[in-house]
Amino acid sequence: MSKTPSGPGRAARPARPNEKNASVKNQGNRPAAPSTGRGFTRFRRTHPILGALVPVGLVLLVLVTLVVVKTTGGPATAQPAASKIVAGSTSSEDGNGTSALPSGVLSAVESISPSTLAAIGDPSSVSAPTATPSKTAVLHASDGKPEILYIGAEYCPYCAAERWAMVVALSRFGTFSGLRATHSSSSDIYPDTNTFSFFGSTYSSASLDFVPVEEQTNHVVNGAYTTLQTPTSSEEALLARYDAAPYTTEPGSIPFLDIANKFVSIGASYTPQVLQGLSMHDIAAQLNDKNSLVATAIDGAANQIVAAITAATGVQPNTTTSSGS
């Protein structure tokens, strides 16, 4: 999972115990390698032309190796699926990291055809929320409705990806207003992933309450992302309870989605790679195309969230369009 520290950089993977010196420790009793110097001298005398070409060949081999390493970037490593919660800066001089939502984006999200959602179904490339123990009580808001809690941050690229699926899913149970546009950090993995921000938005539903907490912006001030919102003590308690094993191997990760305490989802449901280089208009325009990789990822993840909400609360989604109330 993404190890984002208090700022735009990323923490290096900690070394395993004795990892750094493992090869050195095992060399103590190794027999010395036989010398090849005299053999090569004899070879040069017997084959002067070939002997002169060998050093040149070795140099070329080293150069080719360096080019390959530079081009490939070394061995491939699996990318994480979540960001770490980080401490924020109290400065707000750079604003809240959002801008006006591009025209037509929300209406496109809210008008995805149920036939498209049904055709996409539950793709194997999408991770479903994890169920909590069956006897866990349903989380209710103060008005008695089942509560959906989201905790994330604007700098987080995995949150950026997950918000698209959440807006699609929640639009089948209610309506959003006041959504803003934002993007993930420019210096993190999957930089500048375009997305929504829940900061300052309102969600209206006859059946559900949605509580979003955007902890930090995507701007760095004094070495830290500026703070937007702080979870309440009860929200912190839910984080401590569910943003931990067995629901994640990296406690304290975002995005964190708690579906009425009956299901939790930690990390992105799909890879943000599918959104790279796309504007919000580009993404929204593909959501109703069942053959699009973007729609497969976002709509597929939304289907999983919708199924979890219905299983947790018994509330059925709107079946005529994505938008319901």
Rounded CA separation 134/256 (Å) = 20
Last residue of a domain, one of 20, 51, 77: 77
Q: Are residues 169 and 291 in the same domain?
A: yes
Model confidence at 254, in pLDDT bands (50, 70, 90)? very high
Q: What percent of the chain has pLDDT over 90?
A: 67
Structural domain that includes position 285: 83-313
d(CA 105, CA 168): 11
Instruction: Judge if 202 and 227 occupy the same domain.
Output: yes
Mean pLDDT for all residues in the chain? 79
The angle at the Cα of 178, spanning 256 to 97, to the nearest 5 degrees, equals 65
Are both 94 and 67 inside the same structural domain? no
pLDDT at 130 over 80: yes
Q: What is the pLDDT of residue 321?
A: 61
Label residue 62 by pLDDT band (50, 70, 90): very low
Same domain, yes or no, for 204 and 182?
yes
Instruction: Tell me how many degrees the CA angle 102-106-108 measures, rounded to the nearest 5.
Output: 105
* Same domain for 193 and 52: no
Mean pLDDT score, 260-273:
97
Cα–Cα dist 55/44, whole Å = 11
Confirm whether 3 is domain-assigned.
no
Contact 143, 209 (CB under 8 A): yes
Residue 64: predicted pLDDT:
38
pTM above 0.85, yes or no: no
pLDDT at 292 over 70: yes
Asked if residue 154 and residue 66 are part of one domain, the reply reads no
The answer to whether position 24 is within a domain reads no
pLDDT, residue 97, reads 83
* 64 occurs within a structural domain: yes
Domain membership flag for residue 280: yes
Share of the chain above pLDDT 70, in %: 69
Residues 268 and 195 in one domain: yes
Domain count, the chain: 2
Residue 40 lies in a domain: yes
310's tokens: 């219905």
The answer as to whether 65 is a domain residue is yes
* Residue-level pLDDT at 319: 81
Domain shared by 44 and 157, yes or no = no
Look at residue 11 and tell me if it is in a domain.
Answer: no
Question: Same domain for 44 and 94?
Answer: no
Of 43, 77, 111, the one marking the end of a domain is 77
